[in-house]
């Protein structure tokens, strides 16, 4: 074992143990807080749902009113805006982008999966060492872990 790394690994094991203790304490306190404030949490959830439902209903009715009357301000606090949107066939759009040499973006994740599954001439295949640290360092080091 590399002795210059061992003290750092021991410190890491201790820090992980402290972090776990604090996470557990926070989780316990969070559960207690949620139990103590259950009615408030439910009220927030219910009113958020009510607000969302009312906003959706108002938006739908405002657009219906606009379509019937052309009035962009059907009532105070509500305005109908005309959005300029587009829709297109993705295959046709990609063909167009290739023809014009613009608006192209590689799906990196998909390409890497394809490159790993086959050999592509311009892809460089190589190995790189990456250090992995054991999750249970106390066990890996054979050390008893003191609390806190």
Residues 60-84: tens digit of each pLDDT: 999 999 999 999 999 999 999 999 9
Give the list of residues 6+ apart from residue 104 with CB closer than 8 angstroms, or none: 97, 98
Q: What are phi and psi of 91, to 5 degrees?
A: -70, -45
Q: What is the pTM of this model?
A: 0.62
- Percentage of residues in the chain with pLDDT exceeding 90? 68
> Any idea what the Cα angle at residue 38 is, between residues 21 and 45, rounded to 5°?
110
């Amino acid at each position: 074992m590399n002795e210059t790394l061992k003290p750092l690994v021991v410190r890491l094991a201790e820090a992980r143990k402290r972090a776990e203790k604090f996470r557990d304490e926070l989780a316990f306190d969070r559960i207690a807080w949620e139990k103590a404030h259950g009615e408030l949490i439910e009220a927030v959830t219910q009113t958020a749902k009510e607000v969302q439902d009312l906003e959706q209903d108002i938006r739908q009715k405002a657009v219906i009113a606009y379509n019937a009357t052309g009035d962009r301000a059907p009532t105070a606090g509500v305005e109908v805006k005309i959005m300029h949107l587009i829709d297109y066939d993705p295959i046709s759009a990609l063909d167009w982008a290739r023809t014009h040499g613009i608006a192209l973006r590689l799906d990196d994740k998909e390409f890497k999966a394809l490159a790993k599954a086959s050999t592509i001439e311009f892809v460089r295949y190589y190995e790189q060492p990456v250090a992995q640290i054991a999750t249970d360092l106390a066990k890996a080091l054979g050390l008893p872990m003191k609390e806190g």
